[in-house]
Structure formats: structure tokens, C-alpha cells
Amino acid sequence: MTQPSADASRALTRLAEDEVIFRDSVYEFADREIRPLVHDMDEHAKIPRRLIDQLFELGILGVEIPESYGGAGASFFHSVLAVEAVSRVDPSIGVLIDVQNTLVNNAVMRWGNTDVKQRYLPKLAASMVGAYCLSEAGSGSDAFALQTRASEVADGYKINGRKLWITNGNEADLFIVFANLNPELGYRGITAFLVERDTPGFIVGKKEDKLGIRASSTCELLFEDCVVSRDRVLGEVGKGYKVAIETLNEGRIGIGAQMIGLAQGALDHTIRYTKERKQFGKAIADFQGVQFQLARMAIDVESARLMVYNSARLRDAGLPFLHEAAMCKVLSSEVAERVASMAVNLYGGYGFVRDYPVEKLFRDAKIGQIYEGTSNMQLLTIAKQLLS
């Protein structure tokens, strides 16, 4: 086996150190600025605009956007680290960062022409929140059964339909909307459109009252003769299915990062609590049974983290990562639920009340097995790959 040169080894070490510094700096920001807001954001189901502005100022809502467009010009892996670090404090903010970076920004960078990039990337790096609009009432796991329709008109395209479960719906000013322009062609008629919030005929409807990640808005979107110009097509007409598939593959790694951040946060809280909580004259952390449960939690978190990181590395290296992305999403979401549940158990009665943080993380964890591709759909992807 060829060994790396000393210079290459030093370069890899510096890269790893820089990534750790980046992740830790984002976590320090989240711990300082986001943590004091977590309870109220969950209670009122709303993210303060000033916090979103701070995220833009920090650069973590435009991680991969090139510096020439005002972004940080960093890697997909850095986006994953940012989602993980923030989700350790509040997964609601973690998913806002994830959707912005792994779905919206990536789609515009990959599929937008020069004019689209010049129009939107500087805004997405500085102040414009984005949303990704694929799901509908009858189109969840069967994403290409969508009923939202587009038709050609003199000024461009007219969109009619309804979208559900749209993350960032309340905060977004730019929406990537998937509609079928030629239903007779099936999924090959699907086209991605860029719709701005103030477009006539577009309405942000009901905001869902959710179990977890409550601060993150999840909204219904309505399109009633919503006309967009021809230059608002993202990619090519009839190639929206390709935009959706390739972007969501990356988004699943982002959800994996959200889930490992959540799990790490639950473990952090639990370690602190078990050192403070006394029973039978000593801290419960001194009991071997508790120590073994903490050790299992740590093993789970680190295993999921390595799988998420591996998927992100493969993506950045331009190597196939579909199989790994599906695996990391399944594992990380299961780990998040399991670790958060054990955190509640170890907190005892205090874990069941909202005055303590692990109850929220337990609620937040459930969505990981549902959105951006359910666990069953990921298992199907993995099995097909194994049997091909």
C-alpha cells in the first residue's frame, strides 16, 4: 500500500484541525446565542428574525456559495458540520440551516444558469431564506405522483396546485417549486420553478402545529394561477425529477447531521445531569448501570457520526454516495430517537416535564425517520443497491 507523504499527512492534519475549529466555533455561537431562546422558540413555534440575521452574518446560511457571490466558499462537509453543531443546541435551527444549504443553495448552484446564479446566490448568502417545495397531500414517498400543474402562457408558465409540509415556509422569500408541465409524460414532465414570495397567485397558507422541531415552520403553499417568467425555470424543462432526486440525496446527509447533533446534545445534557443528581447518597453517574447506559449512548452517537461524515466526504470527493446517504439517514435517525429516549429515562420524572431540555429533544427526534425520505424508503434504496 502506498503511504502518504509527510507533506500530505500534514495537510490532512491541518484540514481536520480546521474542520474541528469550524464546528466548535459554530457550536460556541449556538450555545451563546441560540440556547437562551430555545424554550421560547419551541413554546411559540417561531424563530426570531434577528437570529436568522445572525446566522447570515456568521456565514452558515451560505456555506458552499462561492466567495464571488458573497458566500463562504467552503465545502459540503462544512455545511454538515454547521448543521450538526447547531442541532446540538436546537434541531429546529439545524433544519433551517440544512434546507438552506443542502437543498436550496445546492440546487441553485448546480442547476441554475449564469443569470439565475447572479440573481439569487448573493441574496441567499446575505439575507434570503429558501424553501424546497416537493411534497403534497397525495405525494410523499411517491414524490413523482405530484398533482401541482404548470402550463405555458404568453408571459411564461402558470402554476396551480397545493404543497404541504414545506420547511421554512414562513421565513422563505425564494421557493423551489416542482410542478408537472406535461402530465402525459409522467415524471418526465416535472419541472422545477423559482417562485418569489411576492409573486401574484402564490400564498403561504396554514402553518402546522407540530410535535417537535416546533420553531421550524412547516407550511402549506397555495398556487392559484401563479405566473412566473420563462427565466424562472431551474435547470431544464422536464428535468425537475433529476433536480429533485440529486438534491435530496445530499439533503439526507444533512438530516443525518441534524440527528447526530440532536443525539450529542441529549448525551451532553444527560452526562451533566447524572453527575449532579444524587440517590442513595451519591451521584447516579457513580452507579455502574448508569455508566453502561451512557457508554452505549456514546457508542451510538459516534457510530452514526462516522457514517454521516463518510457520506459527506464521498460527496465532496465526487464519488458515489447514494447507498451511504441512505444508510446514514436510517442509522442517525434511529440513534437520535434511542439516545433521546434514554436521556428521558435517566432524567427520571424530570425528563418528562418541559422545564428540562431532554423532553424537547425526544419530541424533535421523531421527525428524522419521516422527512426527506422515510426510513422504509431508505431501506428500499439500500436493498436495491445490495441486490443489483
SS3 content of the chain, % helix, strand, coil (to 5): 60, 15, 25
Four-point Cα dihedral 35, 38, 39, 44, nearest 10:
150
In this structure, the number of other CB atoms found within 10 A of the CB of residue 159 comes to: 25
Report the Cα 49 to chain-centroid distance in Å.
19
Is 224 annotated in the active site?
A: no
CA-nearest of 32, 26, 56 to 257 is: 26
E strand or H helix at 232: none
Instruction: Give CA separation, 223 vs 203, 220, 226, in Å.
Output: 7, 10, 6
CA-nearest of 322, 298, 312 to 383 is: 322
**Distance in angstroms (rounded) separating the CA atoms of residues 232 and 258:** 31
Instruction: Give CA separation, 56 vs 101, 125, 251, in Å.
Output: 12, 7, 20
Catalytic pick among 171, 250, 359, 372:
372
Beta-sheet strands, E only, within the chain: 130-133, 149-153, 156-167, 174-180, 190-196, 202-207, 218-228, 233-234, 278-279, 282-283
**Distance in angstroms (rounded) separating the CA atoms of residues 52 and 62:** 12
In this structure, the number of other CB atoms found within 10 A of the CB of residue 277 comes to: 15
**Phi, psi at 210, each rounded to 5°:** -105, 165
Residues noted as catalytic? 372
